[in-house]
Structure 1
Amino acid sequence: MTESSDNSLAPRQRSALSVTLSVWHAIFLREALDRLFDMRAAWLWLIAEPVVHIGFIALIWRSLRIQTIGGADLAVWTMIGMLGFFLYRRTALQVSYAVESNLPLFAYRQVKPFDTALMRALLEAFLMAVISAVLLLGAALLGHDTLAVDDPLLVLLSAVALWLFALGYGLVASVLMALVPESEHILKLLMMPLYLLSGVILPMSAVPEPYRGWLMYNPVANGLELIRLGYMENYHAVAETSLDYLLMWALSSLFLGLVLYRRFERKLVMQ
């Protein structure tokens, strides 16, 4: 009787999967609270920032009396490209600083650097999905055709590939900044021109050869062109657009990031 009671009081051994899921759940909630309530009306700025960018760019094109771009409605073209770019940029930046912002958590041996990076990336994907739904619905109420998607599968694949590339970039960038702190300035400089070089403001079809071919080596530009192509049936994407090319960059950067995280895990948590 005593032996049976002792066995019933003994703590149950949890599986590695159960521990990992619990860690991910806790980190996701922590990151969500920090992202949405870190400052006053932080959640509002998440929506306001893309709205301001979209409105400003659309206003510029409207002032030039341009109604369509690449055969697509100007407002929809601008909105889809901007949302895709924000998905990439926000995910990449958040993952880049995931380890640095969560150093106290690594006192718990169950928490690994990749856990924080992955949860930040998933949180950004979730937030951008909600923000995109809100903005597209709002645009539909204003009379724009934003609810009819021509090729949902292409849009989803392109967005996921763009997100994976952002995750891979963030993993690589965080390791570089841990090993060489000065690289942070270089990475910030590299991120800035993407806004202009990825077809967010100026359509790739307006760029003459051979410069357009050079710009399409940028995987982000391919991602935005693919999302627009899948979303709007009348959109004329440039010939250099390739989903395979985007997936190659996404998987390669993710693989490299995972290898670097594995190799320099101790350096990351000791920075």
Structure 2
Amino acid sequence: MSSARVRSEFSVALSVWRALFLREASARLATGRAAWMWILLEPAVHLVFLMVLFGVIRHRVMAGGVNTEVFILVGVWGFFLVRNVARRGMEAVNANAALFAYRQVRPVDTVLVRAALEAFLYAIVWFALLGGLALFGIDVGPADPIQVMVAAVLLWQLGLGMALVFSVVGALLPEAGKIVKLAFTPLYFLSAVMYPIGSVPRPLRDWLLLNPIVHGLESMRGGYFAGYHGETHISLAYLGFVVLALLFLGLALHARFARRLVAQ
């Protein structure tokens, strides 16, 4: 009896997630005629701009056979993945408030589904941008695909953890949600998106290493380039610890304030 009930609840959750995923995908891609194109163009524009900006100092900044284009692509894509998962997940509760009239739909479901959708879209963006670089004769094959994939998954989970926390904070304190959105602008320059963290002077580098995004991006680069020797203090374990802390805090906040989120 209990096992049948568990299976039933699990099947209901799957049905809810599937319906929310289709709804979110339709809304995400149908908000404008070029909505689907902008998903690809936004990171592509940043990639091209940074390639042009840093092209003249390529040999001074890069070493060890590191390809500048792929180096920048990893930074831009990884940061945008975290940012978009966090920001769009933060807005999920308020955007889907009308659905909470159905008791099967919980606020946490909307955040999880939005994060899954962003992961799906950015996986497509990743392969599209890599394909674009390959057309220009650039070697896009990673030296350690497993490390690249693990770092990318942890970056996505970091965005999910932020989304879970910020979705509660943003729903209960709208002013705080606005501050969170603004914080991603300076974070772009503090996450080693466009430069190797090892090129930063030591006192400032120690502060930047508190940012878990740096560890994810540099780990992806280390997996991509066999000759890339970044900061020795880069650690996927540190990134994983921050991810677990944020996921635990976010889920705890959703459990604690579930009724208030539904009543918004």
**TM-score under structure 2 length normalisation:** 0.94
| Residue aligning to 1:4 | none
Q: Any idea what the Cα deviations from partners look like across 1:14-46, whole Å, max 9, x if unmatched?
A: 811111111110000011111111111100000
Measured after TM superposition, the shift of residue 232 of structure 1 is 1.7
| Residue aligning to 2:75 | 81
1:106 corresponds to 2:100: yes
1:141 corresponds to 2:135: yes
CA distance in 2, matches of 1:132, 1:251: 25
CA distance in 2, matches of 1:65, 1:109: 56
Measured on the aligned residues, the alpha-carbon RMSD in Å equals 1.6
CA distance in 1, matches of 2:51, 2:96: 38
| Residue aligning to 1:227 | 220
| Residue aligning to 1:167 | 160
1:178 corresponds to 2:176: no
Is the 8 Å Cα contact of residues 50 and 72 (structure 2) preserved in structure 1?
A: yes
SS of the residue corresponding to residue 210 of structure 1 reads helix
Is the 8 Å Cα contact of residues 161 and 243 (structure 2) preserved in structure 1?
A: yes
Gap runs ≥5 in structure 2: none
Measured after TM superposition, the shift of residue 68 of structure 1 is 6.0
Q: Any idea what the Cα deviations from partners look like across 1:190-235, whole Å, max 9, x if unmatched?
A: 2211110000123211110111011011000111001111112122
CA distance in 2, matches of 1:161, 1:106: 30
Measured after TM superposition, the shift of residue 67 of structure 1 is 7.5
Measured after TM superposition, the shift of residue 66 of structure 1 is 3.9
Match of 1:132 among 108, 126, 134: 126
Letter in 1 for 2:133: A
Identity %: 48
CA distance in 2, matches of 1:270, 1:241: 43
1:120 corresponds to 2:114: yes
Letter in 2 for 1:222: H
Q: Any idea what the Cα deviations from partners look like across 1:122-148, whole Å, max 9, x if unmatched?
A: 0000100011001101111111111x2
| Residue aligning to 1:52 | 45
Match of 2:54 among 52, 61, 70: 61
Is the 8 Å Cα contact of residues 178 and 267 (structure 1) preserved in structure 2?
A: no
| Residue aligning to 1:23 | 16
* Number of aligned positions between the proteins: 259
SS of the residue corresponding to residue 223 of structure 2 reads helix
CA distance in 2, matches of 1:65, 1:106: 52
Measured after TM superposition, the shift of residue 163 of structure 1 is 0.9
CA distance in 1, matches of 2:18, 2:197: 41
CA distance in 2, matches of 1:15, 1:151: 41
CA distance in 1, matches of 2:60, 2:134: 17
Q: Which structure has the bigger radius of gyration?
A: 1
Is the 8 Å Cα contact of residues 28 and 120 (structure 1) preserved in structure 2?
A: yes
SS of the residue corresponding to residue 182 of structure 1 reads helix
SS of the residue corresponding to residue 111 of structure 1 reads coil
Measured after TM superposition, the shift of residue 117 of structure 1 is 0.5
Gap runs ≥5 in structure 1: 1-12
Runs of 4+ aligned structure 1 residues displaced above 3 Å come to 63-68
Q: Any idea what the Cα deviations from partners look like across 1:141-194, whole Å, max 9, x if unmatched?
A: 111111x21111111111111111111111111111222221123212322111
| Residue aligning to 2:240 | 247
Q: Relative to 1, partners in 2 of residues 1:47 and 1:254: Cα closer, same or farther, differing over 3 Å? A: same
Measured after TM superposition, the shift of residue 246 of structure 1 is 0.2
Is the 8 Å Cα contact of residues 19 and 110 (structure 1) preserved in structure 2?
A: yes
